[in-house]
Amino acid sequence: MVHADVSYGFLLPTRELVMNQAKPDFGQIVDLSERAEEHGFDSVWVGDSITARPRLEAFTTLAAVATRAQKVKLGTAVLLPALRHPVVLANEAANLDLLSQGRLILGMGIATKTPLVEAEFNACGVNIARRIGIFEECLTILRRLWTEPSVTFSGRHFQLQDVSLGLRPHHDSGIPMWIAGSVDNALRRVARLGDGWFPNPASPEIFAEQGQQLDDFARGTGRGPQTLHRAIYTTLNINEDVAQAEQEMRTFIEEYYHTPFEAMARRQSICFGSAETCVKWIKDFIAAGAQTIVIRFGCPDQFGQMERCAADVLPQVRSSGHLTA
């Protein structure tokens, strides 16, 4: 199924700046967000990590961006809610949503258990073995705090008694929450708790297959599958010199994740090569049901890649992304 009005997002390089600059030049992030808006991207996104993959902090970065790029939606790709108490997180997210006049989307995940991530959870005082239960209770509490006058909640991880949030999001319905993940339990979680699904699938075929599973799980909860927004996260390097594109992508992935490129390419959405190659990659995801495509550039030249994408890729994929089938 091809959905109407496919939107395109740009992932701001908040980790790359911290990796490559002794004192990160925050102005580059603001400049990139303004340029993305000028070039027709519909949204800008930031990742989230505190110690495992250090980067500029998500909410304060988006707050700064919101004052300069005033049309694009703002998103997290993805936030780790288990690292924050849900009442504090609900308040901070509501504040950012008010600042941006309702442009915030929260992409959220549980985090993959690795030694670095486990150390990050320990540093933040969270038992990583309990992260899934904490995540689920957190999302439940966030939604209730944003939409109910008073919340009493008794869970395994959190207990609230008549808590009212002073700040409410811009929209009465709250803030959209798109959940990352692709295994069966993650898809069930999306069907129960999410407003959208936000995976990083290794191929359009895998995305389509998992989307069918999500449809089944949604129906099992009594929801119509069409109520769940379908987004993907993909990494591109657009270059007619395919060998250079591959080398830049390989270097980017291995420095970012400290993991061999081949291993990451089997687990993530990665495409490099000519504009035509990248156009086909994106069109195949659109044909598989993607409604939002968030693009990260695996390349040191973020401005150049953005301009190449805006000139040579987005016009071609937009022509196929405004039809319904």
Q: What is the mean pLDDT of residues 68-78?
A: 98
| Burial class of residue 322 (count of CB atoms within 10 Å of its CB; 0-12, 13-18, 19+) | exposed
Which overall architecture, per CATH, does domain 8-231 show?
Alpha-Beta Barrel (3.20)
The two beta strands, 7-11 and 159-163, are unpaired
Quick check: 20 pLDDT over 90? yes
Q: What is the mean pLDDT of residues 67-83?
A: 98
Share of the chain above pLDDT 90, in %: 96
pLDDT of residue 319: 84
Binned at pLDDT 50, 70 and 90, residue 323 comes out as very low
Element (H, E) at 283: helix 275-287
Q: What is the mean pLDDT of residues 45-55?
A: 97
Binned at pLDDT 50, 70 and 90, residue 105 comes out as very high
Q: Mark out the alpha helices in 242-274 (DSSP H runs).
A: 242-257, 261-265
Q: What is the mean pLDDT of residues 8-32?
A: 97
Q: What is the mean pLDDT of residues 51-79?
A: 98
Both tokens assigned to 226: 């069409």
Tens-digit pLDDT profile for residues 122-135:
999 999 999 999 99
Quick check: 136 pLDDT over 70? yes
Asked if 59 and 93 touch (Cβ cutoff 8 Å), the reply is: yes
Asked if 62 and 114 touch (Cβ cutoff 8 Å), the reply is: no
pLDDT of residue 324: 36
Tens-digit pLDDT profile for residues 139-153:
999 999 999 999 999
- The amino acid at residue 176 is P
- The amino acid at residue 29 is I
Task: Estimate the crossing angle of helix 204-220 against helix 275-287, to 10 degrees.
Answer: 20
Helix/strand/coil for 139: helix
Share of the chain above pLDDT 70, in %: 97
Binned at pLDDT 50, 70 and 90, residue 30 comes out as very high
pLDDT of residue 313: 98
Quick check: 292 pLDDT over 50? yes
The whole-model pTM stands at: 0.96
- The amino acid at residue 106 is L
pLDDT of residue 19: 95
Domain ranges in the chain?
Answer: 8-231
Binned at pLDDT 50, 70 and 90, residue 3 comes out as low
The two beta strands, 7-11 and 151-154, are unpaired
Q: Which DSSP string do the residues of 185-248 spell out, in sequence order? A: HHHHHHHHH-SEE----SSHHHHHHHHHHHHHHHHHTT--GGGSEEEEEEEEEE-S-HHHHHHH
pLDDT of residue 2: 55
Tens-digit pLDDT profile for residues 308-319:
999 999 999 998
d(CA 308, CA 303): 9
